[in-house]
Structure 1
Amino acid sequence: MFGWRARLGVVVPSSNTTVEAEFGRAVPDGVSVHTARMPLESVTVDELDAMADDAVDCAERLAHANVDVVAYACTTGSLLHGPGFDTELETSLSETAGVPAVATALSVKRALSALDAERIAVVTPYTDELNEREESYLRDEGFDVVALHGRGIEANTGIGSLSPEDAYRQVRGAVPDPDAVDAVFVSCTNYRTLPAIDALESDLGVPVVTSNQATLWDALGRVGVPANVPGSVGER
């Protein structure tokens, strides 16, 4: 049986071209990945807000595949309305699918907390409006955002075209003094980051958390399967 250890259900924006590839390469043997898509073309507040309405329907369809856990793989989509919305989202997806559920924003919070990170640098591909929403969310959750750098990209396919090298160079440019932070968070599930994590941790000397890494680590942890993700959080 395919997915004999666990079947991972993933809810993704329709224009996301990264999650399935990164999850597919990172899941351990015996874990299968099954996705359902919510309509989204541009990473804007209005489109993210409308997209959330489809999340429960996606979870219901994933339940037809007898998945063991559901991951809502969209960072800004799960923090858009601040703390509390993320928990409500996880609860709704879990109740609909009848299995545990995680949302990327809370997965990132859990990963940073597991690393005892308080002072963080945040790197994103987003516009200023979404960066402000993300910074507010993280500060409300108790993190000290000491640096934030975005690329100003709105089209999600444009984000998906970025490479791990782009992520590496953006982080290095945004974090000139690694001693000033406890960790770096690279946001967006459509940003290809997994191949860059180990090199960044080696060069910076601090843990690096990314949206896909944290989401996969959190989701598989809910079903007792160690996640095969790079970086310090994979050791927790």
Structure 2
Amino acid sequence: MDNKRVGIIIPSSNTTVEDEFSPIFLDAGISAHYDRIPLENVTVDDLAAMEKNTKDSAALLKTADVGVIAYACTTGSLFKGLGHDIELGKVISKEAGAEAVVTSGKVVEALNLVKARNIKVITPYTKELNVLERKFLEQNGFNVLEIKGMDKVKNVDIGRISSDELMNFIDGTDMQDADCVFLSCTNLPTFSVINVLEQKLNKPVISSNSATLWGILKALNIRYEKGPGYIFNAP
């Protein structure tokens, strides 16, 4: 794709996506343009209310002549179950005439890329959302051995989770029988821990942001081998 201009729709309270994506976009020569849609609490009701702004957000980003638009929210693109990501992608593409990259869909693609079947999932979410995430992943063909959440509701609190806090939470989980570990939520800072975890666990580690970024780069036909984790170097 010749157009290296990207639009990214993020929850208004997300404080992580821009920090994690910006250095890589700069290095890869990508022009990134963000639009925020209202979300304070990560609950089904608030995610559903946020989704109603998707069409208008895509229309605004269209005016920046972007070639790709990403919907950078994990549970916000899966809480309706199988096909939710596809539905959102169609809304975005129809409104903006751009290729859509939807986080939950790219997570599925990345898990398939590494041939994962038995997975363990780490989230910052409450039990309500973990149940829905497990259902979505299992509907897409994965065996979720365990999904472990940090019980956060306020999205700004998720963005404040430190690398040490995340690593300590993960250390309490037995990962031996998993093919892959998935760190869920685009507001969960993960880029500083992915490579460390892959070396420690000797298995692929995928996060919502690494999968979304990988999906954006793939849509732009850019191979960027310095990205966080195995998926950026996979054949």
- What TM-score results when the alignment is normalised by the length of structure 2? 0.95
CA positional deviation for 1:226: 1.9
User: Which residue is 1:99 aligned to?
Assistant: 98
Say if 2:124 and 2:151, in contact at 8 Å, map to a contact too.
yes
**How far 1:5 moved relative to its partner?**
6.4
**Which residue of the other structure, out of 224, 227, 230, is the alignment partner of 1:229?**
227
Q: Does residue 204 in structure 1 map to residue 205 in structure 2?
A: no
* 2:178 paired residue number: 181
C-alpha displacement at 1:69, in angstroms?
0.4
SS of aligned partner of 2:52 = helix
Q: CA deviation at 1:168?
A: 2.2
Please list every run of 5 or more consecutive structure 1 residues that lacks an aligned counterpart in the other structure. Answer: none
The answer (yes or no) to whether the contact 1:165–1:196 under 8 Å persists in 2 is: no
Corresponding position of 1:40: 39
The answer as to whether partners of 1:207 and 1:232 remain within 8 angstroms in 2 is yes
| Cα offset, 1:165, TM superposition | 2.4
Instruction: State the partner residue of 2:9.
Output: 11
**Contact 1:5 1:31 survives alignment (8 Å):** no
Matches of 1:164 and 1:25 in 2, distance apart? 18
Residue 122 of structure 1 is matched in structure 2 by 121
Contact 1:69 1:99 in 2 (8 A): yes
CA distance in 2, matches of 1:55, 1:80: 15
Q: Give the alignment's Cα RMSD to 1 decimal.
A: 1.2
Q: Identity over the aligned pairs, expressed in percent? A: 43
- 1:163-192 CA-to-partner distances (Å, cap 9, x unmatched) read 222222222222x2x330100000000000
Q: Which amino acid aligns with 2:8?
A: V
Q: Secondary structure at the match of 1:225?
A: coil
Q: TM-score scaled to structure 1, two decimals?
A: 0.95
- Residue-pair matches, total: 231
**Equivalent residues of 1:164, 1:193 under 8 A apart:** yes
The one-letter amino acid paired with 1:8 is V
**Counterpart in 1 of 2:50?**
51
Displacement after TM superposition at 1:23 (Å): 0.7
Matches within 5 A, 1:131-146: 131-146=130-145
